[in-house]
A and B are shown apart, each in its own frame.
Chain A
């Protein structure tokens, strides 16, 4: 009797698991299919793609063409410079602002924080026109600076790091006070290392956000010398009269690679439990 109940329970569990994985597999396939399709076509000759066929001679020719016939390397360099600079600036400004909101005491601190939060309600698209006016008046159009300056800090970053800093036990701050650490020392030696998971998450988020910028660079850059990758792709598409789909697919695949690298490295760090043992 016991045996049959145990066997039945086991069976139920197995059937449940099979269904769960089946559902997950279907969902995963739906998500990844366009990506696979894009990758697949990047190896096919354009003539085949144009006919709507999904088979043909696979070759690296599209990739070779992308590097030799288009300014994609320049686009990549532009994006890399913009994204890296923006990422570090964003981390720095968001973290010092968050630090002030947590560890410094000043009048209207919380009110000020809510004002900062309120700016999250405004979508970037709504700020595009005034920002464009400002950039034009400052003669910053068609310059690296115009693609970095509006994103030096963000309410989201401040919010996220403020929450992270609030997790730091008050005892650590008091202990540091007894040891005589200044605010800058505490920020650098304790607050940042303690919150490194949040910092890395924000770094990845910031880098990818910058890498995938499209609307703002499109409005503010006019030459290939400065265009970042996403607008570069668009440029390739519009320059080719008889659109070379194979070439564009190959370029798109190249553009995606840094994104994957960032996510891959990032996930290695997103381990939980790194802060255990500080306080009981």
Chain B
């Protein structure tokens, strides 16, 4: 059951480079599956191939164990919410929601019931007779959601549905969509470029970049065990710090060195050589240095409950450090930067090869 993608590839034109290459994934019934990646990574293309709006070049798409390649969109029994909402400007809210149902020749009484239920669910009942131009951006967004709710299909595709809303509304709609998805038992495939949406909403996340799947996992597993540079940098704010590091000498060692004062102790030895070490900003510490030190403070952002400090290392690299509370520190202050311990080690292929305590004990809290 669910949706299965096997070796899905999309190429425009015969000799052109693929825009998506060998995508494999399994999406379970009733889960919220987020496809995330920077713009141009092919995530909307993938969604449109699942919807059937654009043809699949090669590979197999199965929905509920039935091969769907070449099946027209309406026979795939799914609904779709577009980034632009795609409302019909000349129809009222009610007619917009009813439009797809009428096209599917549903009985009028059933249509009325479904439309009313859907509008009630997104609290738009009072706006049923308005035209889209008389609604605010958030309300238009809800009309688009109501269309998906009213449809009887259990699969819903959403293409960056929140990217046109302001920040506060986005946070609110995030949890509303999540709630709706659970209540209706929808299998929801959700495309976004926003890692926060992926982290906060998803049951499983697919990270796409450079036409390839980088990683498919639960949000926390992606955060705690990023498969490569890209994933490590894409998830987590502020961004992870990546350092060039070495294990000196000829023998394998547990000590990996970034500079004289900044090094990480691993729990198993690694062969000597050059590596990249990734350390999350909250796993770094700094203290003012009267003599010596290895960095200068570049910028300080105080957010109230935490402080983000940007420093320039003596190597010229800029590093972000997050400290809890309100830290008083001056710009251009000489500081010593050190690592608290947890770190990721990547090889020269940018692939994760070792990690040191991805989650520290104080972060893992179970309630109840």
Contacts and interface: CB of A to CB of B under 8 A. Distances in A.
Interface of A: 169, 171-172, 174-181, 185, 189-190, 193-194, 196, 273-280
A277 B132 contact: yes
Given A174-B48, A175-B80, A277-B134, A180 B74 contact: yes
B135 interface: yes
Nearest to A175: B86
Given A174-B80, A177-B53, A275-B90, 20 more contacts: A171-B82, A171-B85, A172-B88, A174-B48, A174-B82, A178-B51, A178-B73, A179-B99, A179-B100, A179-B103, A179-B104, A180-B104, A193-B88, A275-B89, A278-B88, A278-B89, A278-B132, A280-B84, A280-B140, A280-B164
A189 B137 CA distance: 24
Given A274-B90, A280-B140, A178 B78 contact: yes
Interface of B: 48, 51-53, 72-75, 78-80, 82-90, 99-100, 103-104, 131-135, 137, 140, 164
Contacts of A190: 88
A164 B140 CA distance: 24
A279 B84 contact: yes
B109 to A, nearest CB: 20
A189 B88 CA distance: 10
A276 B133 contact: yes
26 contacts: A169-B84, A172-B86, A175-B82, A175-B86, A176-B103, A177-B51, A177-B53, A177-B72, A179-B74, A179-B100, A179-B104, A180-B103, A193-B90, A194-B88, A194-B90, A274-B90, A275-B89, A275-B90, A278-B84, A278-B85, A278-B86, A279-B84, A280-B84, A280-B85, A280-B137, A280-B164
B86 A279 contact: yes
A277 B84 contact: no
A171 B86 contact: yes
Contacts of A280: 84-85, 137, 140, 164
Contacts of A279: 82, 84-87
A174 B86 contact: yes
A141 to B, nearest CB: 44
Contacts of B134: 277
Contact of B73 (A171, A180, A193): A180
Contacts of B48: 174
Contacts of B85: 171, 278-280
A107 B75 CA distance: 27
A273 to B, nearest CB: 7
Given A172-B86, A180-B103, A190-B88, A273 B74 contact: no
Given A177-B73, A178-B73, A179-B104, A194 B89 contact: yes
Nearest to B130: A277
Which of B79, B80, B89, B164: most chain A Cβ within 10 A? B89
A169 B88 CA distance: 10
Contacts of B53: 174, 177-178
Nearest to A273: B133
B86 A181 contact: no
Contacts of B90: 193-194, 196, 274-275
